[in-house]
Amino acid sequence: MLTWSRTKRLISIQRVLVKYSLDDLIKTSQALRPLRFVFMLGGRRLDRDAPIGQRIRLALEELGPIFIKFGQALSTRRDLLPNDIADELAKLQDQVPPFDGAVAREIVNRAYGFDLSDIFAEFEETPMAAASIAQVHPAKLHDGTEVVVKVLRPDMREVIQRDLDVMYGMAELTQRYLPDGERLRPVEVVAEYDKTIMDELDLLREAANGSQLRRNFEHSSLLYVPEVYFDYCRREVLVTERIFGVQVSDMDAMRAAGTNIRRLAENGVEIFFTQVFRHNFFHADMHPGNIFVDIRDPDFPVYQSVDWGIIGTLSHEDQRYLAENFLAFFDRDYHRVAQLHVDSGWVPPDTRVDEFEFAVRTVCEPIFNKPLAEISFGTVLMRLFETARRFEMEVQPQLVLLQKTLLNIEGLGRDLYPELDLFETAQPILRAWMEERLGGKAVIDDLRTQWPDIREGLRELPTVLRRVGEQAANGQLRVRMDAGELRALREDLKRQDRRRYVATAGMAAALIGAVLVFEVDPQGAGWLTMAAGVAVTLWARPR
């Protein structure tokens, strides 16, 4: 509901829009449209002759970090925006007005509990870049190591919490009164965003994220992640190695150096899919302000990643369904795409697969075999939203962060190399991952990992079987299952691939068989279990 504090914030938002002469946005705002004339009374207004992109940028800066992040996300979508507006919004990536360097020094001193001169031989109060949540200052350790010091903006938690409260209020109204409210799950989406952005305010968490990302790409020639100096990190302060790359949006500098732009674009796609599927740990704030390029060897450019406050992960089930969806899409197997959506529970279980298949084909078929420059993803997304509404597809809050990241990557690819064939680049990466994850070697590795549990189960199984036999002989064996459990089981069976249950049953049969031969050949029992498990699991794996 709209409490008084939420209403006050909405009014202040509208006043900012009026101040920057963005009247059209107010007229189309349904929530407070009846009050628009009140907001237009008085107040300083920016000259309408100022470029609209500049007015939008200034309004977002004044409204605060959540709105700045919205502008950052939009800035990567030049296919959806006029160039002048996209250019202005790009300034939100690292050119937000900074806060006073003396205040930054005070925050660092307070975080350490003593003067920063005890740690840094040099600390420049003028920041080298400023964004919505923090700003960074160049510095030097006493041993001469050049570093950057990221300092959280003051009072960020209170500012962000205020706007999150408004977002929750609007989400509750949307869910309650809009026809699509339940399907869109706006409250859950806001809750996911709440968790994400509040985590970003803990720079110790970001330090841990950066360290893990660096370890994931330690031996990679595609991506370099700066070292984190944990001894100097605090919740409000992050100290990392200083890098000297070219910002990924500086196309003039890269072209002047003779950079292999095509290779750079293709490597970006490989990095994304590697993070999502192989590492299950992906950088989810990949706007150009956070990505640099080492062009010392221009034919083999290397990405450099900074700002790891927002990291995404997926459940194993979502990973698998997404990978299979991608591959089915690349193969134009729209029936498989439709069936996977039903199996995963992303659409209602009574959805007609053939109808959903035709709808997906209608949207996706026109974009195949086209480079990014000829694909309007804005149009594709709108048509996908229409399809989702028609088939009552529920929004998956846990995938929103991935979808946002994928849009960022596609936007970057469009800017770097519009001729990039996204499908051709991504397909072999995904196929290799699927084979690695679901192939025979993966099955054997899984069995090797689980073997201690299996062996322990074998030891206990004779006792369990003896007790069951005694109860059955005495007429004391009872099997109880309430209606709730039955309903849950039915629902689970609808959502899961039934072959997985066959695999489980096959493994159980193998275990029992192993017990029966255990007395004759203990070693043979283990190999029998292993062999049967491999055979059954290979048969049952998804095709």
Least confident segment among 39-48, 275-284, 341-350, 526-535: 526-535
Higher per-residue pLDDT: 500 or 290: 290
Q: What is the pLDDT of residues 43-53, one digit of tens each?
A: 556 556 788 88
Kindly tell me if the per-residue pLDDT of 347 is higher than 50.
yes
Q: What is the pLDDT of residues 206-221, one digit of tens each?
A: 999 999 999 999 999 9
Kindly tell me if the per-residue pLDDT of 15 is higher than 90.
no
Least confident segment among 81-95, 136-150, 277-291: 81-95
Identify which of 308, 318, 223 has the alpha carbon closest to the alpha carbon of residue 272. 223
**Whether the predicted model's global pTM rises above the 0.75 cut:** no
| Whole-number pLDDT of residue 213 | 97
Kindly tell me if the per-residue pLDDT of 432 is higher than 60.
yes
Question: For 99-185, where are the alpha helices, taking DSSP H only?
Answer: 101-112, 156-177, 181-184
| Termini Cα distance of the chain | 48
| Whole-number pLDDT of residue 488 | 57
Phi then psi dihedrals of residue 42, to 5 deg = 65, -170
Answer whether 45's CB lies under 8 Å from 21's CB: yes
| Whole-number pLDDT of residue 534 | 40
| Whole-number pLDDT of residue 541 | 42
| Whole-number pLDDT of residue 108 | 96
- Whether 285 sits among the annotated catalytic residues: the reply is yes
Secondary element (H or E) of residue 350 = none
- Token readout for 28 is 């189309």
Helix (H, G, I), strand (E, B) or coil at 134: strand
Boundaries of every domain in the chain: 4-90, 157-196, 248-436, 440-469+487-540
Max mean pLDDT among 152-161, 395-404, 431-440 falls in 152-161
Kindly tell me if the per-residue pLDDT of 262 is higher than 60.
yes
Kindly tell me if the per-residue pLDDT of 362 is higher than 70.
yes
Give 307: exposed, middle or buried? Use CB within 10 Å, 0-12, 13-18, 19+: buried
Higher per-residue pLDDT: 526 or 306: 306
What span, in angstroms and rounded, lies between the C-alpha atoms of 412 and 268?
9
Name 138's bridge partners: 148
Name 151's bridge partners: 135, 237
Kindly tell me if the per-residue pLDDT of 32 is higher than 50.
no
| Whole-number pLDDT of residue 510 | 42
Over residues 66-83, mean pLDDT: 74
Answer whether 254's CB lies under 8 Å from 295's CB: yes
Round the average pLDDT of the chain to a whole number and report it. 78
Over residues 445-454, mean pLDDT: 69
What span, in angstroms and rounded, lies between the C-alpha atoms of 193 and 171?
12
The proportion of the chain whose per-residue pLDDT surpasses 70, expressed as a percent, equals 75
| Whole-number pLDDT of residue 500 | 45
Kindly indicate the confidence band of residue 380, based on its pLDDT and cuts at 50, 70 and 90. low
Kindly tell me if the per-residue pLDDT of 14 is higher than 60.
yes
Secondary element (H or E) of residue 445 = helix 440-473
Higher per-residue pLDDT: 516 or 358: 358
Answer whether 426's CB lies under 8 Å from 330's CB: yes
| Whole-number pLDDT of residue 440 | 61
Catalytic one among 79, 94, 163, 285? 285
Least confident segment among 112-121, 137-146, 154-163: 154-163
| Whole-number pLDDT of residue 251 | 93
- Token readout for 3 is 């409490």
For the residues of 14-51, what is the DSSP string, one character each? HHHHHHTT-HHHHHT-STTGGGHHHHTSSS----TTS-
Kindly indicate the confidence band of residue 477, based on its pLDDT and cuts at 50, 70 and 90. low
What span, in angstroms and rounded, lies between the C-alpha atoms of 226 and 153?
22
| Whole-number pLDDT of residue 325 | 84
Kindly indicate the confidence band of residue 1, based on its pLDDT and cuts at 50, 70 and 90. low
Higher per-residue pLDDT: 357 or 465: 357
Kindly indicate the confidence band of residue 452, based on its pLDDT and cuts at 50, 70 and 90. confident
Kindly tell me if the per-residue pLDDT of 311 is higher than 80.
yes
Kindly indicate the confidence band of residue 526, based on its pLDDT and cuts at 50, 70 and 90. very low
For the residues of 405-436, what is the DSSP string, one character each? HHHHHHHHHHHH-TT--HHHHHHHHHHHHHHH
Amino acid at 376: S
316-330 and 334-344 helices, crossing angle to 10°? 160
| Whole-number pLDDT of residue 507 | 43
Over residues 166-181, mean pLDDT: 78
